[in-house]
C-alpha cells in the first residue's frame, strides 16, 4: 500500500521535518558540535519512522517529486548567482593555488571511490556517490545526483545512499580537521596563546579579515525589501528558464547533463554579466535566503522519500569506502594542502578547513578553523580563502569533474 502526498501536503510535511530538526539542534549538543543541518536531523528521524511503518504494516509513502526538484534547482541557482569571479582578485595567488589543490583532491576522491567500488564488486557509480558527490558536494549535490543515477542508470537507492554518506562526511569532517591542524601546529612548536594575546592579534590586523559569510551563517539577520525580493525572484526565474531551454537542447544535441548543472551555470553567467558589464549591485542577502530556504526544503522532501530498506545490502562496502576516504583526506591535507600552502600556521588552519568541506561542508570547515584560531590565534588568510572556495568555486569544479567521471563510466 502506498500513500501519495500532493504538493500541498508534501510542503506541510517538509516544514514539520524542519521544525523537528530545529528543536533537535537546539536540544542536542552533539548535533550542534558537528554542524548537522536541521533538515538532516529532522529528516533522518522521519525516515526512521517511515521505515518502521513500512516494516510493521507494509505501507510506503510517496511525496511530490516535482516540488523537490524545483527547490533543488533554486538552490543550485543561488550558488551560481553567488559565484562572483571578481572575488578571485581579493584572494590573489594563494586562493588560486588552494582552488587547484581542492580540484585535484576532488579527482583523487572520485578515483579512490570508483576504484574501491570496483574492487568490492559494486557498481562504479557507488564510488562517485561515496566520493565527491557527497563528501565534497554535501547533501545538496547528493540529492541532485541521486535521482539521476536512479532514473538513468538504474542504481536503486542512490539518493538515500548519498544522503547517508553526506551525513557521515559531516560528522567525520568535524572530527578530523582539528586534530590534523593541531598535529601540524605542534610540529612547528607554536604554543597556544592566552586570551589577551589572541585579542591583540585580532585587533592588530582586523581590516584584512573578509569572511564573506554568504552560506556560512544562514541564521544571521538580513534586511530584505520587497523590491530586492522581486529582483532576486526575477533572476531565479531567468535562470530556471535558461536551465529548461538548455536541458532540452542538451538532451537532443549535447551530452545530456543533469538539469541542475545548467541551473548553476545560468546563475554564474547571469551574475558575472550583471556585475561586470552592467555594474548591477547584486543583493546577496536575498539570494542567500532563497538559496538556504530552498536547500532546507529540498533536503527535507528528499529525506521523506528516503527508503532505508533499499540500502541494507550496501552497508558493508560503503562503510569500507568511506573509511578509506577519511584516511585519504587526512593524508592529503597533511602532505599536500599543508605543504603547497606554505608549511606555516595559515597552511595548518587551511588544512583543517579543507578537511571540513572535503568531507562535509563549508560550515564544518569554518567550525574547524575557529576551533584552531580560538586557541592559537587568528588566521585572516584562511578565513578569506576557505569560505570563497568552499561555498562557491568548489561546486563549479565538482560539477565539471563529476560530469567527466560519469561520462567516462557510461
Rounded-to-integer distance, Cα 139 and Cα 170, Å: 9
For the stretch 152-166, pLDDT in tens is 888 887 888 888 888
Contacts of 262 (CB under 8 A, 6+ apart): 242, 243, 246, 247, 250
- 46 vs 177, 297, 315, CA distance in Å? 30, 14, 20
To the nearest whole number, what is the mean pLDDT of the chain? Answer: 82
**pTM for this prediction:** 0.71
Neighbours of 202 (CB within 10 A): 14
CB 271 within 8 A of CB 291: no
Which pLDDT does position 228 carry in this prediction?
A: 86
Half-sphere exposure of 319 (CA within 13 A, CB side): 6
Q: Count each helix (H run) and each strand (E run) in the chain, helices first.
A: 18, 2
For the stretch 64-80, pLDDT in tens is 878 888 888 898 888 78
For the stretch 77-112, pLDDT in tens is 887 887 777 766 666 788 889 999 999 999 999 999
Rounded-to-integer distance, Cα 329 and Cα 365, Å: 13
Rounded-to-integer distance, Cα 154 and Cα 375, Å: 49
Rounded-to-integer distance, Cα 350 and Cα 385, Å: 8
- Would you kindly state where each structural domain of the chain is located, as residue ranges? 87-199+224-283+311-409
Long-range CB pairs of 342-346 (<8 Å, 24+ gap) are 342/94, 344/188, 345/185, 345/188, 345/190, 345/376, 345/377, 345/379, 346/379, 346/381, 346/382
Span 355-366, mean pLDDT?
81
What is the four-CA torsion angle of 187, 192, 197, 199, rounded to 10 degrees?
100
Neighbours of 230 (CB within 10 A): 10
CB 263 within 8 A of CB 33: no
For the stretch 283-294, pLDDT in tens is 888 888 888 888
Amino acid at each position: 500500500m502506498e500513500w501519495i502526498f500532493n504538493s500541498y501536503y508534501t510542503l506541510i510535511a517538509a516544514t514539520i521535518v524542519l521544525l523537528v530538526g530545529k528543536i533537535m539542534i537546539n536540544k542536542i549538543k552533539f548535533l550542534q558540535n558537528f554542524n548537522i543541518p536541521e533538515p538532516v536531523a529532522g529528516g533522518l528521524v522521519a525516515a526512521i519512522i517511515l521505515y518502521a511503518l513500512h516494516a510493521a504494516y507494509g505501507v510506503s509513502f510517496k511525496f511530490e517529486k516535482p516540488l523537490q526538484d524545483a527547490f533543488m534547482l533554486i538552490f543550485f541557482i543561488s550558488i551560481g548567482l553567488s559565484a562572483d569571479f571578481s572575488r578571485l582578485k581579493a584572494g590573489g595567488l594563494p586562493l588560486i593555488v588552494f582552488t587547484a589543490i581542492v580540484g585535484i583532491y576532488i579527482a583523487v576522491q572520485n578515483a579512490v571511490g570508483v576504484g574501491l567500488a570496483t574492487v568490492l564488486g559494486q557498481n562504479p557509480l557507488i564510488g562517485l556517490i561515496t566520493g565527491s558527490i557527497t563528501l565534497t558536494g554535501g547533501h545538496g549535490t547528493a540529492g541532485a545526483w541521486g535521482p539521476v543515477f536512479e532514473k538513468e542508470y538504474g542504481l536503486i537507492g542512490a539518493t538515500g545512499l548519498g544522503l547517508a554518506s553526506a551525513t557521515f562526511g559531516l560528522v567525520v569532517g568535524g572530527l578530523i580537521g582539528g586534530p590534523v591542524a593541531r598535529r601540524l601546529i605542534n610540529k612547528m612548536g607554536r604554543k597556544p596563546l592566552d586570551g589577551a594575546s589572541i585579542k591583540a592579534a585580532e585587533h592588530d590586523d582586523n581590516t584584512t579579515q573578509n569572511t564573506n559569510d554568504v552560506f556560512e551563517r544562514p541564521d544571521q539577520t538580513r534586511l530584505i525589501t520587497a523590491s530586492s525580493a522581486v529582483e532576486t525572484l526575477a533572476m531565479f526565474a531567468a535562470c530556471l528558464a535558461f536551465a529548461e531551454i538548455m536541458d532540452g537542447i542538451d538532451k537532443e544535441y549535447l551530452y545530456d547533463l543533469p538539469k541542475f548543472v545548467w541551473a548553476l551555470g545560468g546563475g554564474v553567467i547571469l551574475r558575472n554579466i550583471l556585475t561586470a558589464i552592467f555594474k548591477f549591485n547584486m543583493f546577496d542577502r536575498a539570494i542567500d535566503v532563497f538559496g538556504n530556504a530552498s536547500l532546507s526544503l529540498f533536503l527535507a522532501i528528499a529525506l521523506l522519500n528516503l527508503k532505508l530498506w533499499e540500502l541494507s545490502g550496501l552497508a558493508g562496502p560503503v562503510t569500507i569506502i568511506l573509511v578509506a576516504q577519511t584516511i585519504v583526506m587526512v593524508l592529503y591535507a597533511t602532505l599536500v594542502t599543508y605543504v603547497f600552502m606554505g608549511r606555516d600556521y595559515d597552511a595548518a588552519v587551511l588544512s583543517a578547513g579543507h578537511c571540513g568541506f572535503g568531507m562535509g561542508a563549508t560550515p564544518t570547515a569554518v567550525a574547524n578553523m575557529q576551533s584552531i584560531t580560538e586557541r592559537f590565534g587568528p588566521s585572516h588568510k584562511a578565513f578569506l580563502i576557505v569560505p570563497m572556495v568552499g561555498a562557491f568555486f568548489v561546486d563549479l569544479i565538482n560539477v565539471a569533474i563529476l560530469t567527466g567521471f560519469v561520462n567516462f563510466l557510461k
